[in-house]
Amino acid sequence: MADETGLVTADDNVGWQFDNTYSKLPNVFFAPAKPATVRAPRLAILNHRLADELGLDVGRLSAETVAALFAGQILPSGSQPIAQAYAGHQFGNFTMLGDGRAILLGEHRTPTGRLVDIQLKGAGQTHFSRRGDGRAALGPMLREYLISEAMFALGIPTTRSLAVVTTGEPVYRESSLPGAILTRVAASHIRVGTFEYFAARHDEANLRVLADYAINRHYPEVVDAPNRYLEFFQAVVDRQASLIARWQLVGFIHGVMNTDNMAISGETIDYGPCAFMNAYRVDTVFSSIDRTGRYAYGNQPAIAQWNQARFAETLLPMLDSDQEKAVQIGLEVLGQYPALFEQYWLSGMREKLGMQSAEAGDLELVQSLLAWMQKSHADFTNTFRALSSDDAMSGELSGDPDFAAWHSQWQQRLGREGRPITLLYASMRAVNPAVIPRNHKVEEALAAAEDRDDLSVLHRLLEVLATPYQAGPNLTPYQEIPPDDCSYRTFCGT
Ligand code: AMP
Ligand code: MG
pLDDT tens for the 494 residues of the chain, in order: 444 444 555 546 799 999 999 999 999 999 999 999 999 999 999 999 999 999 999 998 999 999 999 999 999 999 999 999 999 999 999 999 999 999 999 999 999 999 999 999 999 999 999 999 999 999 999 999 999 999 999 999 999 999 999 999 999 999 999 999 999 999 999 999 999 999 999 999 999 999 999 999 999 999 999 999 999 999 999 999 999 999 999 999 999 999 999 999 999 999 999 999 999 999 999 999 999 999 999 999 999 999 999 999 999 999 999 999 999 999 999 999 999 999 999 999 999 999 999 999 999 999 999 999 999 999 999 999 999 998 888 777 788 999 999 999 999 999 999 999 999 999 999 999 999 999 999 999 999 999 999 999 999 999 999 999 999 889 999 999 987 777 788 887 55
Q: Which ligand is nearest to the CA of 102?
A: 1
Task: Report domain extents, the chain.
Answer: 8-189, 193-335, 346-378+389-429
- Ligand 1 close to Cβ of residue 261 (< 6 A): yes
Residue 125 CA, distance from chain mean position: 24
Q: Which residues contact 420 (CB under 8 A, 6 or more apart)?
A: none
Separation CA 172–CA 62 (nearest Å): 30
- Ligand 1 close to Cβ of residue 184 (< 6 A): no
What is the distance in A from the centroid of ligand 2 to the CA of 99?
8
Among protein residues, the one with the nearest Cα to ligand 1's atom 21 is 132
437 within 8 A of 381, measured Cβ to Cβ: no
- Of ligand 1's listed atoms, the one at least distance from the Cα of 492 is 2
User: CA separation (Å) from 412 to 23, 416, 417?
Assistant: 59, 7, 9
Helix (H/G/I), strand (E/B), else coil: 413:
helix
Among protein residues, the one with the nearest Cα to ligand 1's atom 13 is 100
Residue 494 is predicted with a pLDDT of 55
What is the distance in A from the centroid of ligand 1 to the CA of 95?
12
Q: Which ligand is nearest to the CA of 98?
A: 1
Residue 486 is predicted with a pLDDT of 72
Residue 4 is predicted with a pLDDT of 46
134 within 8 A of 121, measured Cβ to Cβ: no
Strand partners, 172: 176
Q: Which ligand is nearest to the CA of 121?
A: 1
What is the distance in A from the centroid of ligand 2 to the CA of 483?
31
Strand partners, 437: none
Tens-digit pLDDT profile for residues 9-67: 554 679 999 999 999 999 999 999 999 999 999 999 999 999 999 999 999 899 999 99
Query: Which positions are annotated as active-site residues?
Result: 260
Separation CA 462–CA 150 (nearest Å): 7
User: CA separation (Å) from 10 to 168, 295, 342?
Assistant: 21, 43, 49
Helix (H/G/I), strand (E/B), else coil: 406:
helix
85 within 8 A of 203, measured Cβ to Cβ: no
Separation CA 473–CA 92 (nearest Å): 46
Among protein residues, the one with the nearest Cα to ligand 1's atom 15 is 494
385 within 8 A of 480, measured Cβ to Cβ: no
User: CA separation (Å) from 149 to 146, 163, 271?
Assistant: 5, 11, 11
Cα-Cα end-to-end distance for the chain: 33
- Of ligand 1's listed atoms, the one at least distance from the Cα of 98 is 10
Residue 493 is predicted with a pLDDT of 58
Which one, of 244, 240, 264, lies nearest residue 84 by Cα?
A: 264
What is the distance in A from the centroid of ligand 1 to the CA of 83?
12
Q: Which ligand is nearest to the CA of 493?
A: 1
Among protein residues, the one with the nearest Cα to ligand 1's atom 7 is 97
- Of ligand 1's listed atoms, the one at least distance from the Cα of 97 is 10
Which one, of 158, 79, 161, 91, lies nearest residue 122 by Cα?
A: 161
Helix (H/G/I), strand (E/B), else coil: 416:
coil
- Ligand 1 close to Cβ of residue 100 (< 6 A): yes
Residue 247 is predicted with a pLDDT of 98
Mutate to test the pocket of ligand 1, among 101, 192, 262, 492 (most ligand atoms within 8 A of CB): 101
What is the distance in A from the centroid of ligand 1 to the CA of 122?
9
Angle, CA of 23, 136 and 275, to the nearest 5°: 100
Residue 6 is predicted with a pLDDT of 46
- Ligand 1 close to Cβ of residue 144 (< 6 A): no
According to the 3-state scheme, what is the secondary structure of 226-282?
CCHHHHHHHHHHHHHHHHHHHHHHHCEECCCCCHHHCECCCCECCCCCCEECCECCC
Task: Say how many C-beta atoms besides its own lie within 10 A of residue 172's C-beta.
Answer: 11
With the C-alpha atoms ordered 259, 263, 267, 271, is the resulting torsion angle positive or negative? negative
- Ligand 1 close to Cβ of residue 132 (< 6 A): yes
Among protein residues, the one with the nearest Cα to ligand 1's atom 6 is 97
Tell how strand 252-253 and strand 8-9 pair up: unpaired
199 within 8 A of 318, measured Cβ to Cβ: no
Q: Determine which helix (DSSP H) or strand (DSSP E) holds 180, and give its type and residue range.
A: strand 176-186
Q: Which residues contact 199 (CB under 8 A, 6 or more apart)?
A: 207, 313, 314
Tens-digit pLDDT profile for residues 255-297: 999 999 999 999 999 999 999 999 999 999 999 999 999 999 9
Which amino acid appears at position 399 of this protein?
G
Burial category of 137 from C-beta neighbours within 10 Å (exposed 0-12, middle 13-18, buried 19 and up): buried
What is the distance in A from the centroid of ligand 1 to the CA of 130?
9
Tens-digit pLDDT profile for residues 176-207: 999 999 999 999 999 999 999 999 999 999 99
